[in-house]
Amino acid sequence: MDDLPPPILLEILRRLADSADVARCRVSSKTLNSLAAELRSVNLHWSYLRYAKSRSPPTTRSPPITPFKEVFSKLVSELRIVESVSIGVEKPLRFAAYEDIEDEDDDLFLSDAGFVKAWIPRVCGDLVSLSISDFWVQSCWRRSDVLSLISSYCLKLVELEIKNAWLSVDSLTPMPNLTTLTLEFIRLDDENLEKVNECFPCLQVLNLIGVGGLKEPKIHLAHLKTCHWTLSNAPISISIIAPNLIELTLTCVKPKLLFIEAPLLSQLSLSLENASNFKVKEFSSLRKLHLESTSLRNLLATFPFGKTVNNLTAVSTRWEVPVGVCKSIFELLLCAFPNVSSLTLTAGVWSEFEAYPGLGGLEFRVRMEGLKEITAYLTVNDIEVTLATIVSLLDSCSGVSDISMFIHRDVVSHVTNSLISRCVYHMAHRASLRWKWGMWKEGTKDAWISDGICQPSFQSFQFVNEF
């Protein structure tokens, strides 16, 4: 390898995602060792195995483990320019339960301001990306001033990510160059997000995942374009004012108030049970909506917007027998979103539709003519009911040209074969109808079985059971 030109060797080193792998290469080659100083990033994450070994008494076969902070400090000191730093613990260690690990040490307390202050002055001049993933067992009871430290030193920072820490916003100064901020599993001493709005004014991407300590949080950012916000179950008031926001993913349960003012919003993923007070300024640009709820039917009855949506995914996470049903869930969806052309029904929604499949009269069927694509996730508890529901739906939706059916992986193959064959046979008169078949299961990736155009001469379907 030493015979390769130095630029190629340097490019090989740059493509190694883990700094530990870089260190191994440096030991094996003098040329690689000399070139390593030209790298501009450090990516070091501690494994559970190394953590466990560091807690065991050293033996002749098992020498003592060099502490994480010492390893990292040496790596940083050997680089001429540092543009990116990513340090942390691996997921199995990060989510270790308290009863499994009792730890009052601070060797993996990586958001410790004292530790960060020892190395950040040396790299801050060129640093544009910083990620710190703390060890929650050591960090949860230690409040950190690392945010104010970073804001004081890292004037060129563009991306900042901090996970599993208790963060103070005292002495936080504005960071006008920061465009991406991720706070995940954070206890934040900024109950209304006032400091976040004030000190990160140019954010374009904001991810707040499991951030605790919030009371009446408000996001008010003029340049924000993408936001992913996952809140706890606490019934708090939530406000989002973002004139340039395009994509929003919001997960909450029962907010006292949900207020959204985002006139350019085009993609929204909303997960909630209900809101005591749901206020939005008109979404004239909203086209794609993912709506998830444990009480989807009740939510649709009071949904404040939906006329512009043309791509809709409906998710019901808890299905219960509705009381006094007068309309099917399918009717409610198309009443709330009358201009939908592409509709996805997950398993809970489809199961309720099978139980209450009514599709209204002629007026409602005329409204459904705009629907072009249907995707459904099936469990097939009764093949006759499922078949009848599919046929009835397609007979009513004359404008549908593409239908995708995902059958649960636990359904036996002969039932899947039968459903596919009979569906295509019963809809043989719709020569232009395109079928796509796939399989799904919780926690796994959807897999396609096959697809094709429904032909009147169709007699059988060969099910490929390889997924």
pLDDT, tens digit (0-9, with 9 covering 90-100), for 184-194: 999 999 999 99
Q: Is residue 159 part of a domain?
A: no
Q: What is the pLDDT of residues 74-112, one digit of tens each?
A: 888 888 888 889 998 876 554 454 445 556 777 888 999
Q: Is residue 11 part of a domain?
A: yes
Which range has the worst mean pLDDT, 173-187, 326-340, 379-393? Answer: 326-340
- Give me the pLDDT at residue 23, please: 60
Calculate mean pLDDT across residues 135-163.
93
Joined together, the tokens standing for residue 184 give 């995940």
* 424 pLDDT more than 50: yes
- pTM equals 0.85
Q: Tokens 């010492």, residue?
A: 70
Q: What percentage of the chain's residues is helix, strand, coil (to nearest 5)?
A: 30, 25, 45
Domain encompassing residue 23? 1-39
Which range has the worst mean pLDDT, 29-38, 297-306, 338-347? Answer: 29-38
Distance (Å, rounded) from C-alpha 290 to C-alpha 273? 14
Residue 60 near residue 37, CB atoms below 8 Å: no
Q: Is residue 346 part of a domain?
A: yes
Q: Is residue 148 part of a domain?
A: no
- Give me the pLDDT at residue 463, please: 40
- Give me the pLDDT at residue 36, please: 58
Using 50, 70 and 90 to split pLDDT, how confident is the model at 3?
Answer: low
- Give me the pLDDT at residue 458, please: 36
Q: ∠ CA(385), CA(388), CA(392), 5° rounding? A: 140
Distance (Å, rounded) from C-alpha 195 to C-alpha 188? 11
Q: What is the pLDDT of residues 458-467, one digit of tens each?
A: 333 444 433 3
Terminal alpha carbon distance of the chain:
41
Q: What total number of domains does the chain contain?
A: 2
* 386 pLDDT more than 80: yes
Q: Is residue 170 part of a domain?
A: no
* 319 pLDDT more than 70: no
- Give me the pLDDT at residue 466, please: 34
Residue 188 near residue 167, CB atoms below 8 Å: yes
Among 211, 213, 193, CA closest to 203: 193
DSSP string, 31-44: HHHHHGGG--EEEE
Among 266, 339, 258, 260, CA closest to 293: 258
Using 50, 70 and 90 to split pLDDT, how confident is the model at 152?
Answer: very high
Q: Is residue 333 part of a domain?
A: yes
- Give me the pLDDT at residue 392, please: 87
Distance (Å, rounded) from C-alpha 269 to C-alpha 285? 14
